[in-house]
Amino acid sequence: MDIMAMLSGTSTAITLAKAVKDAEVSLDVATIKAQMAEILSELSDAKLAQAALLEENAQLKAEVARLAAAGDEIGAMVDVGGYKYEPRDGTAIGWPACPACLANEKRVTILVQNGKAEDAKCPRCKSEFSPVVSFVAAGVTRKDEELRRRAEGMERLNRLAAPRVI
């Protein structure tokens, strides 16, 4: 039942109650009881509709509050290459927020790595993105860090393999 149906039912109940009150001839008990039953039915429906509207109103208020908070959070994010990152000490760290969740629902959902260093997936909507830059430290991408570690590993292997000069 929507607001218009609830108002219409309440209006009908009022009209019926008024007709009983203003009746110029005395009504018999059966007629009064029938009209009271109709009034009660209309009021009961209106009460149910009111409860549903109160619940809907509470849900809408919660959504408005969530959207306002999300707007503040999104506004504070750091934009790098079209992706939005949560700020840490004024710089982008970690994975960015899912662009699909931001655009469609104004929700900040941080992407997670999905295989390779620059592949990411949204844990919420399951959208996949590539390439996505992830920062392990200020200005240091996950891919840079991976390449640095590989180079370090190779250097260590080369040192071990090199003949020792005594």
Our CB check for Zn ion shows the closer of 45 and 84 to be 84
Our CB check for Zn ion shows the closer of 50 and 109 to be 109
In the complex, the smallest distance separating the C-beta of residue 98 from Zn ion, rounded to whole angstroms, is 3
CB 62 within 8 A of CB 69: no
Structure tokens at 105: 């629902």
Our CB check for Zn ion shows the closer of 131 and 153 to be 131
In the complex, the smallest distance separating the C-beta of residue 96 from Zn ion, rounded to whole angstroms, is 11
In the complex, the smallest distance separating the C-beta of residue 121 from Zn ion, rounded to whole angstroms, is 9
Contacts to Zn ion by CB under 5 A: 98, 100-101, 109, 122, 124-125
In the complex, the smallest distance separating the C-beta of residue 37 from Zn ion, rounded to whole angstroms, is 53
CA-only gyration radius of the chain, Å:
33
Our CB check for Zn ion shows the closer of 92 and 98 to be 98
CB 86 within 8 A of CB 139: no
Structure tokens at 32: 């009064």
- CA gap 109, 132 in Å, rounded: 14
Picking from 110, 162, 111, 113, the residue whose alpha carbon sits closest to that of residue 142 is 113
In the complex, the smallest distance separating the C-beta of residue 70 from Zn ion, rounded to whole angstroms, is 13
Our CB check for Zn ion shows the closer of 100 and 117 to be 100
Strands 91-92 and 87-88, sheet pairing:
antiparallel
Contacts of 27 (CB under 8 A, 6+ apart): 20, 35
